[in-house]
Amino acid sequence: MTDPIKEYGFTAVPASASTLLTSTPSYPKPNTTPTFISITETPIPSTPLAQRINIYARTNLPEPTYNHSLRVYHFGLAIKKYRFHSSDWDFTDETYFLACLLHDIGTTDENLSRTHLSFEFYGGFLALDILQGRSETQSDSDAVSTREQAESVAEAIIRHQDLCSVGKITAVGQLLQLATIFGTFCSDRH
């Protein structure tokens, strides 16, 4: 039996990106400079669930938001590959992919008009339903997330803009934050 804490990225890591990247003995700085990581080294998962959510995101997100979500995925896996080698970061690429594709689902015009909640909270709640097939007709049980995986993705979405300097966050949530910050920084420079 697999451990849902590790598999779905629930392991608690420092919430402060600065602390995590500069002064945490558990996550020492690498001895080498980053090397080029090809997009082929961070492939999109081919599971039925990942394929279903990819189609959902491509259909429901504006193209720039969908492309941003894919960049966050690829940036995050490159960051993880270079910087985080401890078992705390052994969550599945599929779980991270789902979080990336759905992290801005609450920002669509349609979803913003449905609620007074912040886009992160509404997006997290919406992701729970989407991943578990409750918001659409879903007959393929392979394309439905487990409760634990859906909750990990929802928490990461809810907290992806919650940049804290104290406390903990899930590993998948921290990677989503780091990659979103990196992706935004890169976009702002061009």
Phi/psi region, residue 23 (left: phi>0; alpha: psi -120 to 50; beta: rest), is alpha
Asked if residue 36 lies in contact with residue 147, where contact means CB atoms within 8 angstroms, the answer is no
Fold designation for 48-188: Hypothetical protein af1432 (1.10.3210)
Note down pLDDT in tens along the chain; length 190 residues: 589 999 999 999 999 999 898 877 888 888 889 899 999 999 999 999 999 999 999 999 999 999 999 999 999 999 999 999 888 899 999 999 999 999 999 999 898 888 888 899 999 999 999 999 865 555 566 799 999 999 999 999 999 888 888 999 999 999 999 999 887 666 654 4
Question: Which residue ranges make up each domain of the chain?
Answer: 48-188
Phi, psi of 153 (to 5 degrees): -65, -45
Q: Which residue has the tokens 């001895």?
A: 31
Instruction: Strands of 15-161 (E only): list them.
Output: none
